[in-house]
Amino acid sequence: MQLGILKELSDNRVSISPESVKKLSKSYEIVVEKDAGISAFFSNEDYEAVGAKSTSRDELLKNCDIVFSINPPSLDDLGLMKKNAIIVSQFSPFNQPEIAEQIAQLGISALSMDMIPRTTLAQAMDVLSSMASIAGYRAVLKASDYFPRYIPMLSTAAGTIPPAKALILGAGVAGLQAIATAKRLGAVVEVFDTRAAAKEEVMSLGAKFIEVEGATDDKAAGGYAVEQTEDYKKKQAELIAEKASKADIIITTALLRGRPAPLLLPKSTLDNMKPGSVIVDLAAITGGNCEVTENKKVVTYKGISVIGDSNLSEEISQHASILFGKNIENYIKILFTESGELDMENELVSASCLAHQNENIYKKNN
């Protein structure tokens, strides 16, 4: 079976690093698009040294049995693939459900790694968690680039500078890494999350957990935030506004799968924040947690820098690629039956499958 690694067209990462190719080449013939790893500082020679062959994009798509990418190739690219070939990417079908039907009509199979259930069994192949961890780390560093003051407390002969106050909204994987990074830099950190289970983790990192009573149970949400009652939202908004007015740096991470991100920072809250404050909105791709957020842009609102970016992991392209590749290594282990067919009896495979044998599996499952 021939496995192909596509070059990302607008992303610094690559789906499989040479480190993972070295392991996978024991079982598969590996083909990599020329310069696929350049932006992650992996050369063509690095891939060739561990057993991969370099080729053009068209040749890879036409000949490979299974193709990997981080971001979905265009339908034109997918149309070049041979019948019954497999494309593995992140299709975000919740945001574009039509993609499953379009791929089914091409006669190829599609697997979406962002659809792998976020269970204990699937942790080793959870690309969302791997990339979120990097994004949380990078978000704090990004904020420091725009923050016009020191983050740690500093004592000098001229006087003492107090530490910056960081507010983290959402204590999932990204939020926890943001907490740890902000603490390392010396900030005083407060954290808000609707999930009661997050309290212990937040406190173990040395941050203060902000609690709002009456949250909706979220045990079945797979690590995502859930929709809350109007009464809860009112209490939440009041408390966040109060904490935001005193914060220097705010990192927002709250996403609702398949729905617009919850609005946590309306203009009325920003109006009471200090000039020079920085907001990094990791939910920008689905509308953002801040009212003035624009994805892939830095907006200045009354002296506040609002950075909207849901793909900060690509800014740490090498480690992001290594982790993504390790996730793929583990995913491949469960993909096939002994006869080499997709193992649709495996719940992780079937849940992440969008199209197979000209059938729209995503529609069937959802």
| Model confidence pLDDT, tens digit, residues 240-249 | 999 999 999 9
Domain identity same for 68 and 148: no
How high is the pLDDT of residue 126? Answer: 97
pLDDT band of residue 216 (cuts 50, 70, 90) is: low
Q: Which CATH number do you get for residue 228?
A: 3.40.50.720
Domain identity same for 107 and 155: no
How high is the pLDDT of residue 180? Answer: 98
- In sequence order, what are the beta bridge partners of 251? 168, 280
* Cα–Cα dist 152/193, whole Å: 24
How high is the pLDDT of residue 6? Answer: 98
Q: What is the mean pLDDT of residues 207-214?
A: 87
Domain identity same for 39 and 156: no
How high is the pLDDT of residue 213? Answer: 76
Domain identity same for 174 and 49: no
Domain identity same for 181 and 254: yes
Domain identity same for 24 and 171: no
Range of the structural domain that residue 361 is part of: 2-125+317-365
Q: Say whether pLDDT at 218 is over 70.
A: no
* Cα–Cα dist 146/277, whole Å: 8
Domain identity same for 239 and 306: yes
Domain identity same for 137 and 84: no
Q: Say whether pLDDT at 226 is over 90.
A: no
- Look over the chain and give the mean of its residue pLDDT values, rounded to a whole number: 94
Domain identity same for 183 and 278: yes
* Cα–Cα dist 307/310, whole Å: 10
Q: Alpha-carbon torsion 99, 104, 107, 109, what sign?
A: positive
Q: What is the mean pLDDT of residues 274-295?
A: 97
* Cα–Cα dist 357/110, whole Å: 10
Q: What is the mean pLDDT of residues 269-280?
A: 97
pLDDT band of residue 2 (cuts 50, 70, 90) is: very high
Q: What is the DSSP letter of 344?
A: T
Domain identity same for 116 and 137: no
How high is the pLDDT of residue 220? Answer: 52
Q: Say whether pLDDT at 112 is over 70.
A: yes
Q: Say whether pLDDT at 269 is over 60.
A: yes
CA distances in angstroms from 297 to 129, 216, 285, listed in the order given: 24, 33, 11
Domain count, the chain: 2
Of 52-61, 195-204, 273-282, 325-334, the range with the lowest mean pLDDT is 195-204
Q: What is the mean pLDDT of residues 197-216?
A: 88
Residue at token pair 């009325």: 268
Q: Say whether pLDDT at 225 is over 80.
A: no
Q: What is the mean pLDDT of residues 255-279?
A: 93
Domain identity same for 142 and 169: yes
Domain identity same for 136 and 271: yes
Q: What is the mean pLDDT of residues 129-156?
A: 97
> What are the E-state strand segments in 81-134?
86-89, 109-112
Q: What is the pLDDT of residues 337-362, one digit of tens each?
A: 999 999 999 999 999 999 999 999 99
Question: Taking the CA of residue 167 as centre, how many other CA atoms within 13 Å lie in the half-sphere pointing to its CB?
Answer: 22
Q: What are 57-65's contacts with CB under 8 Å, separation 24+? A: 57/6, 57/7, 57/33, 60/4, 60/5, 60/6, 60/31, 60/32, 60/33, 61/4, 61/6, 63/2, 63/4, 63/31, 64/2, 64/3, 64/4, 64/31, 65/1, 65/2, 65/3
Catalytically active residues, by annotation: 118, 123, 126, 129, 224
Q: Say whether pLDDT at 117 is over 60.
A: yes
Q: What is the pLDDT of residues 8-33, one digit of tens each?
A: 999 999 999 999 999 999 999 999 99
Q: Say whether pLDDT at 319 is over 70.
A: yes
Q: Say whether pLDDT at 85 is over 70.
A: yes
Q: What are 201-206's contacts with CB under 8 Å, separation 24+? A: 201/171, 201/176, 202/171, 202/176, 205/176, 205/179, 205/180
How high is the pLDDT of residue 95? Answer: 87
More confident residue, 307 or 223: 307
Q: Say whether pLDDT at 258 is over 90.
A: no
Q: Say whether pLDDT at 227 is over 70.
A: no
